[in-house]
Structure 1
Amino acid sequence: MKILLLEDDRETRENIERLLGEAGHVVDAVTTGQDAMFHATDGEYAVLILDRMVPGLAGLPALKALRAAGVRTPALFLTAMNGVEDRVEGLEAGADDYLAKPFAASELLARVNALARRPPIAEVTTVLVVADLVLDRVKRTVVRAGQRIDLQPQELKLLEYMMLHAGEVVTRAMLLENVWSFHFDPRTNVIESHMSRLRGKVDRDFPRDLIQTVRGAGYRIDAD
């Protein structure tokens, strides 16, 4: 199986690559969290093995970002940070297992094999496409007809929710709860104002309006 390894220490990295290779696995090794995120979003790996302490973007925030982007590949933290609070923090960040350094080779192999045997989680789409509009949920970018569209964080979250429900009518209550986390209606024009700004960026200067108002019901982004 194919495994992604994030480890910046050369000796440790080479030892793990050799161990996994002798067990018949294919290993892609990287040394930074940024590179780990780039590779992991391909969704081709059976297991991620991540060190928490690497230069630049560390393993913990890298995994958090991957989980937020919908990447559900089983992940094992392999790290010298082995306190109880460290392990709890790692598991809460989205890790499926936690192994402290120094480690026994046989235990690492057993844990990796156990993670790979877990039933697969339904694949989560990381790139949303509606007509000529493309939203990359990992890079947090929006492009329409090849033209980059810059959105504020809440506008991006609003568009993402609508694209996930493309072709469906989304009500005010759905938007308040899922985009703003309001479980009550504050009776403000927050949705209308954000929707107006979003339309101005997504539909302006394009021959076709994708975002539509459904009178008396809510909004819809046209999937046809």
Structure 2
Amino acid sequence: MRVLVVEDDKRLQEAIASVLADEQYEVDRASDGDEGYRLALQGVYDMLVLDIMLPGMNGLSVLRKLRSEGVDTPCLFLTAKDAVSDRVQGLDAGADDYLVKPFAIDELLARLRALQRRKKGAGADQPLSYAGLTLHEHRLEGDYGGTSIKLTSKEFELLSYLIRHKEQIVRREQIFSSVWGLESEANETAVDLYVHYLRKKLQPYGCEHYIRTIRSVGYMLKAEGVYA
């Protein structure tokens, strides 16, 4: 899956590209609208992540021009503007989705997965599952062996991240940047707190031990055996 990220904020661009690469996306980058347009015009990308406020051509102009040239690559707009009129303007320009800054990286990934499913013509969201745990992303619900688990949105995002990285050691800072976002006012202690909350939610189902603590590093979701 090849993605073009067009973002002039170097720190945000690097962070997005790094996370997408970790998720096995092939990533190209551009820092202004003219370069982004030139690259996207090649038609080699599966998805575009396009900031609206860019040097040179802005994102709206880039996408309108691409659509007029027959480039139909699914596009996710990034913007700091949250007014309904701004969202309407972006969608009318040809965007497939719209994400307001600041955002959690996990939400960005979920939006891209949704665009990917839409492009493939999938009719319904596929649940995330691991060792009896199931998360239904389209309705933000979980269950264990068919029994419903009530989760807050942040608990859901955390468990979703752990399931997608099952049986891998994930660093605390990786979890924080993906679930809370790069510009969150919280800090990494929130990860430990929500792991505690999540274990309490899983305890009645006997699967709280799935979330292993990797001392001084982070966590791992692993159902079998004991990780020392």
1:113 deviation in Å? 1.2
Q: Which residue of 1 aligns with 2:71?
A: 71
1:79 deviation in Å? 1.2
Q: Which residue of 1 aligns with 2:55?
A: 55
In the aligned structure 2, how far is the partner of 1:88 from the partner of 1:74? 17
1:118 deviation in Å? 2.0
Instruction: Please give the residue correspondences for 1:1-224 in structure 2 after superposition, counting only pairs within 5 Å.
Output: 1-119=1-119
Gaps of 5+ in 2: 122-228
In the aligned structure 2, how far is the partner of 1:99 from the partner of 1:57? 20
Task: Give the count of matched residue pairs.
Answer: 121
In the aligned structure 2, how far is the partner of 1:17 from the partner of 1:55? 19
The C-alpha deviation readout for 1:55-85, integer Å capped at 9, x for no partner, is: 1111110100000110000000011122111
The C-alpha deviation readout for 1:127-181, integer Å capped at 9, x for no partner, is: xxxxxxxxxxxxxxxxxxxxxxxxxxxxxxxxxxxxxxxxxxxxxxxxxxxxxxx
1:120 deviation in Å? 5.8
In the aligned structure 1, how far is the partner of 2:41 from the partner of 2:18? 24
Q: Which has the higher helix share?
A: 2
Q: Which residue of 1 aligns with 2:166?
A: none
Change beyond 3 A, Cα 1:26–1:89? same
Is the CA contact (8 Å cut-off) linking 1:77 and 1:97 kept in structure 2?
yes
Query: Cα RMSD over matched residues?
Result: 1.3
**TM-score using structure 1 length:** 0.52
Is the CA contact (8 Å cut-off) linking 2:74 and 2:119 kept in structure 1?
no
Gaps of 5+ in 1: 122-224
Is the CA contact (8 Å cut-off) linking 1:6 and 1:49 kept in structure 2?
yes
1:119 deviation in Å? 3.3
Higher CA-based Rg:
1
Paired residue secondary structure (1:119): helix
Paired residue secondary structure (1:82): coil
The C-alpha deviation readout for 1:31-76, integer Å capped at 9, x for no partner, is: 1111111111111111100000011111110100000110000000
In the aligned structure 2, how far is the partner of 1:61 from the partner of 1:78? 14
| Residue identity opposite 1:85 in structure 2 | S
Paired residue secondary structure (2:102): coil
The C-alpha deviation readout for 1:86-119, integer Å capped at 9, x for no partner, is: 1000000000000000001111001011112223
In the aligned structure 2, how far is the partner of 1:3 from the partner of 1:100? 19
Is the CA contact (8 Å cut-off) linking 1:52 and 1:81 kept in structure 2?
no
| Residue identity opposite 1:110 in structure 2 | A
**TM-score using structure 2 length:** 0.51
